[in-house]
Chains A and B, each alone.
Chain A
Amino acid sequence: MRLVIKGGRIIDPRNGLDTVGDLLVEDGVIAWCGQHLPDAMALDGDVVFDASGLIVAPGLIDMHVHLREPGFEYKETIESGGRAAAAGGFTAVVPMPNTNPATDNRAMVEFVARRARETSPVRVWPTVAATRGNENELMSEIADAKEAGAVAVTDDAFPLQSAELTRRVMEYCATFDLPLLTHCEDKTMTRGGVMNEGLVSTLMGLKGMPRAAEEIQVARNIRLAELTGCRLHILHISTARSIELVREAKRRGVSVTCETCPQYFTLTDESALGYDTMVKCSPPVRTAEDVDAVRAGLADGTIDAIATDHAPHAAHEKECEFQAAAFGMVGLETALGLVLTRLVHAGVIGLADAIRKMTVAPASILGIPGGHLSVQSPADITIIDPDERWTVDPEAFQSRARNTPFAGWELRGRAVATIVGGQIVHGDLVRAPRGRVRA
Chain B
Amino acid sequence: MSALNRNILALREMSADEIQLILDQAQEMKEILSRPIKKVPTLRGKSVVTLFFENSTRTRMSFEMAAKTLSADVTGFAASTSSVAKGESLKDTILTLNAMKADAFVIRHSASGAAHFIARHTSARVINAGDGTHEHPTQGLLDMLTIRQHKGTLRGLTVAIVGDIAHSRVARSNVWGLTKMGAKVRLVGPRTLLPADVEQLPVEVHTDLRRGISGCDVVNVLRIQMERQDAGLFPSVREYAQTFGVNRSVLREAKPDVLVMHPGPMNRGIEITPDVADGEFSVVTEQVTNGVAVRMALLYLLLGGSNDASGH
Contacts and interface: CB of A to CB of B under 8 A. Distances in A.
Nearest to B115: A275
B111 interface: yes
Interface in B160-180: 169, 172
Nearest to B135: A205
A316 B89 CA distance: 8
Given A203-B12, A204-B134, A205-B134, A322 B196 contact: no
A255 interface: no
A206 B172 CA distance: 12
Given A197-B196, A316-B89, A205 B133 contact: yes
Contact of B197 (A198, A319, A322): A198
Nearest to B194: A202
Contacts of A274: 116
A107 interface: no
Given A205-B132, A208-B196, A320 B12 contact: no
Nearest to A324: B111
A199 B169 contact: no
Q: Which of B12, B89, B91, B111 has the most CB of A within 10 A?
A: B111
Contacts of B109: 321
Given A321-B90, A321-B117, A205 B197 contact: no
A323 interface: yes
Given A205-B112, A205-B135, A320 B117 contact: yes
B196 A201 contact: yes
A322 B195 contact: no
A151 B114 CA distance: 43
A201 B196 CA distance: 8
B233 interface: no
A210 interface: yes
A324 B87 CA distance: 13
Contacts of B215: none
Given A320-B90, A320-B91, A202 B196 contact: yes
Contacts of B112: 204-206, 275, 322-323
B250 interface: no
A202 B134 contact: no
A202 B198 contact: yes
Nearest to B131: A205
Interface in A338-377: none
Contacts of B197: 198-199, 202
A322 B113 contact: yes
Interface string B75-115: 00000000000000111000000000000000001011110
A324 B117 CA distance: 12
A204 B113 contact: yes
Interface string A151-167: 00000000000000000
B201 interface: yes
A197 to B, nearest CB: 5
Nearest to B91: A319
A195 to B, nearest CB: 10
Given A202-B201, A205-B134, A323 B196 contact: no
B200 interface: yes
A125 B229 CA distance: 48
Q: Which of A205, A275, A324 has the most CB of B within 10 A?
A: A205
A323 B132 contact: yes
A205 B196 contact: no
A146 B117 CA distance: 46
Interface in A313-343: 316, 319-324
A210 B197 CA distance: 11
A221 to B, nearest CB: 25
Nearest to B195: A202
B201 A321 contact: no
Interface string A265-277: 0000000001100
A199 B196 contact: yes
Nearest to B136: A205
Contacts of A319: 89, 91
A208 B133 CA distance: 12
Nearest to B200: A199
Contacts of A321: 90, 109, 111, 113-114, 117
A210 B196 CA distance: 9
Contact of B169 (A205, A207, A323): A205
Interface in A409-435: none
A323 B113 CA distance: 9
Contact of A275 (B116, B135, B172, B201): B116
A201 B133 CA distance: 10
Interface in A183-204: 197-199, 201-204
16 contacts: A197-B196, A199-B197, A199-B200, A202-B197, A204-B113, A205-B135, A205-B169, A205-B172, A206-B112, A206-B113, A275-B113, A316-B91, A319-B91, A320-B89, A321-B111, A323-B112
Interface of B: 12, 89-91, 109, 111-114, 116-117, 131-135, 169, 172, 195-198, 200-201
Q: Which 3 residue pairs across A and B have the least CB separation, nearest first?
A: A205-B134, A275-B113, A321-B111
